[in-house]
Structure 1
Amino acid sequence: MDIADESPRGMASYDAADGGRGMSVLNAMYYLFKPFLPQAVRYNMRRLRANYKLQTAKDWPIMVSAGETPRGWQGWPDGKQFAFVLTHDVEGPLGLERCHQLAEIERKHGFRSSFNLIPEGGYEVTPEFRKSITDLGFEIGIHDLRHDGSLYRSRKSFDECSVAINGHLREWRAVGFRAGFMFHNLEWLKQLEINYDASTFDTDPFEPQPDGAGTIFPFVVKGRTPEESYVELPYTLPQDVTLYLILRQPTNEIWREKTDWLAERGGMVLLNVHPDYIAFDGRKPTISEFDSALYEDYLIYVKEKYAGQYWNPLPRELSQYIARQTPGMPESAT
């Protein structure tokens, strides 16, 4: 497989003149004061910004050029039409409590997913909890280090954090990473001992660092040595928080429509859903939640409309598939 180094669309990396932060002064101030802002104020601020972005977003939720098939693409295993990848970022103690409820919904419909956990955040990740997830056939990944917006504050900060992140990767036997707030620098990430990263997206103007990968396919980021190389998995469906908490969408129609477009082009449907913000068991959602029925109904839609046509790998399995087709990838990734 001839997959280009870095993004096939030439995704912008962090501006060195910006100290590697990749965010504006306003964004930096927001994350600095975020812990002290009431939840309603935070959502209103993000909603105002998102509605402004919505007026000028020409390539959202679909970027037509992102659907171009990469040179040398060999397709999905067993002739499947597209890949269907489910991921979850767990941001707080409430989300941790809800992981098994979310997993049960997916198991009910024959799906598997990965749960990305914060190693040094506001909750404790015990070996017993990790085992309870992996024993179900699901995956555990690393979500940032502290999820406080400081990971990319400077190169020095990232270097220091990478040592701790690698320690957690080894301890948890995890091979995947996703940064908080979807900040990304594909060059710096070569320091992590990972098989894949999932901190990018095909197109998403609502993220604080909105430069996208511009592709709906996974791609390889090659380092100077095989050990520095990894697979990048951009998410390709709008995040749940964007749709339901910020834009206040009443249905999952955007997920459905884009899934149809992705499937038609043989790409990767990769979704990120947060258990922290899901109201289960028919309970009325709060201002910071959406009904789990929106997610379950979407899973049923995919299962029924595309029966036998999709491959539902764990992210680690997808990255292994890409690595096996790419010369020079480390043996650990295959």
Structure 2
Amino acid sequence: MDLADESPRAIAAYAPEEEGRGMSLLNAMYYVFKPFLPQAARYTMRRLRANYKLQKAKDWPIMESAGETPPGWRGWPQGKKFALVLTHDVEGPVGLERCKQLAEMERKHGFRSSFNLIPEGGYEVTPEFRQHFTDAGFEIGVHDLRHDGSLYRSRKSFDECAVAINSHLREWSAVGFRAGFMFHNLEWLKTLDIQYDASTFDTDPFEPQPDGAGTIFPFVVKGRRPEDRYVELPYTLPQDATLYLILREQTNRIWKGKTDWLAKRGGMVLVNVHPDYLAFDGRKPTISEFDANLYEDFLCYVKETYAGQYWNPLPREMSQFIAGREAGE
């Protein structure tokens, strides 16, 4: 079995127990009341919950079993030691305004990334905005539909949203998707016209739906028809919001340490950084931000420590590589 074969462990983790299960009642209630909660109150609640989970977390930030090389794995292109995939979810107008500065930071150090944009959220995504990034060698993906926590409320509502999401995918010439809040159901996602999904992770007990894929490698999710299959790209570095806004880390030691572990095992380093949370130009971060220098320092660490050893594809290039390998190309 090649890496391109779906992971039975991962698929089992996401198989719905019943047709209508999409998200828990507790999560559903939280997202109903979230708009009415002050920001400070939301962060306090999340920090209390995260600190409680941190006490019990045994497989975070590293799950040793997730580092097992899949049977038949033949390595990365050009004999690279590991892969590095950079992604960004844009939550609101502030994040949209910071995308160009973030892209410029990455381009300065020789990196490329994808920006996942909300089609029907609190900002307008113009064709000119998308074109700017694709012309510069970056990628645009679809981030949920409205990012209000309701996508997986039921199978019926998901299928209704899928029609609109597929329309935006076509309009944007996008091939990738990531759900808001990392909600996921790998079965239901077969409804989307995508080459890849990036709504899962190897291990992350802090997410509202904490069931992990248990692997640091991409894998194919297969449907009954060839056109129903897609590549799943789990993120493998802890999310920026978790580290810097909730756990209030002051350094990027966790990102660097896990990158070293991922590189040693030849896996995929996939990170999700939100431009909304980045404080650029030495400005003092607010309660919902962290110093952008932490991310830039991480990029410099990878570039200098692993020069010539990593492959930095766009997510669509990663999915094409994995799908092509399955097809025997």
User: What residue is the counterpart of 2:191 in the other structure?
Assistant: 191
User: What residue is the counterpart of 1:249 in the other structure?
Assistant: 249
Distance 1:7 1:142, change over 3 A: farther
Measured in 2, the distance between the counterparts of 1:222 and 1:327 equals: 13
Equivalent residues of 1:149, 1:181 under 8 A apart: yes
Equivalent residues in 2 for 1:44-123, closer than 5 Å: 44-123=44-123
Q: Which runs of 5+ in 1 are unaligned?
A: 329-333
1:309 aligns with 2:320: no
Equivalent residues of 1:14, 1:22 under 8 A apart: no
Letter paired with 1:115 = F
Local SS of the residue matching 1:152: coil
After superposing on structure 2, the runs of 4+ consecutive aligned residues of structure 1 that deviate more than 4 Å are 6-11
Letter paired with 1:160 = E
User: What residue is the counterpart of 2:6 in the other structure?
Assistant: 5
Distance 1:171 1:180, change over 3 A: same
Equivalent residues of 2:5, 2:326 under 8 A apart: no
Residues 253-293 of structure 1: CA distance to partner in whole angstroms, max 9, x if unpaired? 00000000000000000000000010000000001000000
Residues 114-139 of structure 1: CA distance to partner in whole angstroms, max 9, x if unpaired? 00000000000000000011111000
Measured in 1, the distance between the counterparts of 2:132 and 2:86 equals: 18
Distance 1:324 1:14, change over 3 A: closer
Equivalent residues in 2 for 1:261-276, closer than 5 Å: 261-276=261-276
Measured in 2, the distance between the counterparts of 1:21 and 1:248 equals: 30
What number of residue pairs does the alignment pair up?
Answer: 328
Distance 1:67 1:221, change over 3 A: same
CA shift at 1:13, angstroms?
Answer: 1.9
Letter paired with 2:21 = G
Equivalent residues of 1:3, 1:72 under 8 A apart: no
Equivalent residues of 2:19, 2:155 under 8 A apart: no
CA shift at 1:7, angstroms?
Answer: 4.9
Measured in 2, the distance between the counterparts of 1:211 and 1:44 equals: 24
Equivalent residues in 2 for 1:284-295, closer than 5 Å: 284-295=284-295
Measured in 1, the distance between the counterparts of 2:318 and 2:22 equals: 29
CA shift at 1:226, angstroms?
Answer: 1.1
Measured in 1, the distance between the counterparts of 2:23 and 2:6 equals: 21
Local SS of the residue matching 2:141: strand
Fraction of identical pairs, as percent:
79
User: What residue is the counterpart of 2:28 in the other structure?
Assistant: 28
Measured in 2, the distance between the counterparts of 1:9 and 1:221 equals: 9
CA shift at 1:8, angstroms?
Answer: 4.3
User: What residue is the counterpart of 1:209 in the other structure?
Assistant: 209
Equivalent residues of 1:114, 1:139 under 8 A apart: yes
Letter paired with 1:154 = S
> What is the TM-score of this pair, normalised by structure 2?
0.97
Residues 155-212 of structure 1: CA distance to partner in whole angstroms, max 9, x if unpaired? 0000000000000000000000000000000000001000000000000000000000
User: What residue is the counterpart of 2:177 in the other structure?
Assistant: 177
Equivalent residues of 2:182, 2:207 under 8 A apart: yes
Superposed CA RMSD in Å reads: 1.3
Letter paired with 1:301 = Y
Measured in 2, the distance between the counterparts of 1:156 and 1:6 equals: 27
Local SS of the residue matching 2:72: coil
Measured in 2, the distance between the counterparts of 1:77 and 1:154 equals: 40
User: What residue is the counterpart of 2:221 in the other structure?
Assistant: 221
Measured in 2, the distance between the counterparts of 1:84 and 1:211 equals: 23
Local SS of the residue matching 2:14: coil
Measured in 1, the distance between the counterparts of 2:11 and 2:282 equals: 44
1:127 aligns with 2:127: yes
Local SS of the residue matching 2:84: strand
Distance 1:7 1:136, change over 3 A: farther
Letter paired with 1:101 = Q
User: What residue is the counterpart of 1:139 in the other structure?
Assistant: 139
User: What residue is the counterpart of 1:326 in the other structure?
Assistant: 326
Equivalent residues of 2:22, 2:185 under 8 A apart: no
